[in-house]
């Protein structure tokens, strides 16, 4: 099957207003007023009806990543391939079709238990995109939302699922010590792309699934000043900065990381590599970043 892009993320929170404020004052996302209500917050990054769907519930956590497929025919091919591979999936209910603003979709889980939704026909919004902050917008055209990094306790099993079943391609494999100590534990990551030029759309990090359900997700803005202004807004709003500014060695992204109201991180970056897959050879990076990206987990 050919997954085109990451189309949206679905998140649960106990406090919708907290996400509303964070999206507006820090990230610069536009609220879709006509879709949102007391229990649902729909946030826009571009022409699509939404890219973040936040629902009220009993916890603060990531729920699912939406993967877009190009049309009904490709969707049927995907379902047949999942059936042949003995992968369990469930058709979207009418309620979920309406909630995700798509023509149709299925839900499934990767071997680590991360929830995925494969759908097609995602609706556009009626109004043009206008950020509540002074930013031009987010880089999504032909590339999708951005990327997600999932935890996977059994890295290789989860990796083969994305490559062999969902049809992703390898972009990079990273294995480096966590910190300077000689006996520091190894960090292992697989980075994978789907059918668009973004260097990676899904990455897998060898670790137990965190309580927030996700390691991080990434959005990309149009220039480095917009990254800097984003960092200023995060600090002005007392958002925890999980990583300092830095440039990644694999997708070249200049970014910082901040904690979202649902506990996982949001990478806010610019200058991600758009790859020509015809001439690309898989990378094996020895370091995560050329400079910066000093991580500091929140104090618990």
> What residues make contact with Fe ion under the rule CB under 5 A?
218, 267
Q: How far is the CB of 62 from Fe ion (least distance, A)?
A: 14
Q: Which is nearer to Fe ion, 68 or 243 (CB)?
A: 243
Q: How far is the CB of 295 from Fe ion (least distance, A)?
A: 12
Q: How far is the CB of 114 from Fe ion (least distance, A)?
A: 16
Q: How far is the CB of 6 from Fe ion (least distance, A)?
A: 12
Residues 161-200 as b/e (b if ≥16 CB within 10 A, e otherwise) read: bbeebbebbbbbbbeeeeeeeeeeeeebbbbbbbbbebbb
Q: Which is nearer to Fe ion, 218 or 275 (CB)?
A: 218
For residue 238, give the DSSP letter. T
Q: How far is the CB of 161 from Fe ion (least distance, A)?
A: 20
Q: Which is nearer to Fe ion, 12 or 267 (CB)?
A: 267
Q: Which is nearer to Fe ion, 74 or 226 (CB)?
A: 226
Name the token pair of 8.
């949206």
Q: Which is nearer to Fe ion, 137 or 146 (CB)?
A: 146
Spell out the residues 6+ positions from residue 9 whose beta carbon is closer than 8 angstroms to its own: 51, 52, 53, 62, 64, 65, 66, 145, 148, 217
Q: How far is the CB of 88 from Fe ion (least distance, A)?
A: 29
Distance (Å, rounded) from C-alpha 277 to C-alpha 133?
A: 34
- How many CB atoms within 10 Å of residue 296? 11
Q: Which is nearer to Fe ion, 165 or 171 (CB)?
A: 171
Continuous H helices in 254-299: none
- Residue 43's DSSP bridge partners are 31, 52
Judge contact between 192 and 200, C-beta under 8 A: yes
Distance (Å, rounded) from C-alpha 60 to C-alpha 14?
A: 6
């Amino acid at each position: 099957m050919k997954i085109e892009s990451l189309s949206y993320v679905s998140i649960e929170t106990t406090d919708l207003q907290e996400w509303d404020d964070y999206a507006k004052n820090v990230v610069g996302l536009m609220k879709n007023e006509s879709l949102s209500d007391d229990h649902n917050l729909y946030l826009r990054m571009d022409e699509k009806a939404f890219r973040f769907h936040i629902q009220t519930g009993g916890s603060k956590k990531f729920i699912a990543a939406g993967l877009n497929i190009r049309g009904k025919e490709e969707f049927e091919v995907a379902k047949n391939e999942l059936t042949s591979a003995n992968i369990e999936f469930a058709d979207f209910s009418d309620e979920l079709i309406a909630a995700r603003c798509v023509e149709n979709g299925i839900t499934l889980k990767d071997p680590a238990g991360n929830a995925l939704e494969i759908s097609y026909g995602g609706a556009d919004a009626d109004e043009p995109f206008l950020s509540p902050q002074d930013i031009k917008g987010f880089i999504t055209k032909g590339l999708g939302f951005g990327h997600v990094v999932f935890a996977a306790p059994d890295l290789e099993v989860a990796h083969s699922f994305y490559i062999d079943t969902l049809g992703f391609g390898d972009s990079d494999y990273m294995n480096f010590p966590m910190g300077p100590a000689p006996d520091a534990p190894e960090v292992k990551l697989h980075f994978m792309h789907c059918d668009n030029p973004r260097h990676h759309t899904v990455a897998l990090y060898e670790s137990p699934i965190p309580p927030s359900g996700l390691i991080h997700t990434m959005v990309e803005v149009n220039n480095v000043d917009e990254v800097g202004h984003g960092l200023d807004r995060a600090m002005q709003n007392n958002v925890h900065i999980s990583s300092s500014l830095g440039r990644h060695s694999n997708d070249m992204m200049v970014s910082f990381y901040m904690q979202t109201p649902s506990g996982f991180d949001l990478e806010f970056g610019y200058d991600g590599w758009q790859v020509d897959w015809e001439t690309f050879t898989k990378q094996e990076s020895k370091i995560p970043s050329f400079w910066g990206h000093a991580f500091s987990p929140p104090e618990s």
